[in-house]
Structure 1
Amino acid sequence: MSFRLAPLGRTDLARCAELETVLFPGDDPWRESAFRAELAAGHHYVGAYTDGGLVGYAGLSVRGPRGGAEANVHTIGVDPRWQGQGIGRALLRALLARADEFDAPVYLEVRTDNAAAIGLYEAHGFTRIGMRRRYYWPSGADAYTMARPAHVAEEAT
């Protein structure tokens, strides 16, 4: 099955919110208005598309000038029917390429029980640097804070 990456558009935001309710049912899924605010703030968002439409999305903020910037992964989500097809990996790589344009280290939070996501991040140079207790609401799930220095080579995957 093939997909393509492209900048996320305003017409995709309702679908992003729909996927959020499927992907994060025990927590506080983002609403369409949250995605709209992210785009309005100028954050970098990319979508994964098939002939059937949007099947994944990812977002990154970059703050500061080139060489002194920091980046933060805000979200990565893939339709469960499309997971395991390399879409999450492609979305993450697109975000990291954007961060690398600014020579920026990248930070993110991930649920401590999400082994697949943790493995993906570690394969792309992230390490655990801390824990945020009860980070996700309302579930109360803990999150690891992970970091990746700027321009880190990833493992062959």
Structure 2
Amino acid sequence: MLKLKRILLVEDNANDAELTLEALAEHNLVNGVDLVRDGAEALDYLYRRGKFAGEPPPNLAVILLDLKLPKVDGLEVLSTLKGDEKLKFIPVVVLTSSREERDVVDSYRLGVNAYVVKPVNFSEFITAVKELGAFWAIINEPPPSSQKG
């Protein structure tokens, strides 16, 4: 039986996290979503350290990554992830409120797969997240090397 890949949401803003989870649920995605609240926790999740120690390796369809995170910022998480041979093929979508040109350029330089600015309008935000979830969890075909555990 094929095990569905999960979605990792890295978001420190409780309201944005709740809206994102609601939008993904509205689209009836059956992929599970794991939520972490800061960059350090995201790295612990990916490397199975701390409270994630002993859990099986993550089987991720996509990481939805905020940039402005406490402890370790999103660009550092992205740099670490894309610099690791075992993790670099996991698709990463930056989902942030930052429109700063430097953030966009740095994200793509580090290997982000997409950069999405969170819409301020509620319905636009819900629509954007639904479409992101559907594309990355259902439509996108990842490279074969990202399927290895």
TM range (shorter): 0.3 to 0.5
Compare relative contact order (CA 8 Å, sep 6+) and give the higher one, 1 or 2. Answer: 2
Q: TM-score normalized by structure 1?
A: 0.33
Larger strand proportion of the pair? 1
Larger helix proportion of the pair? 2
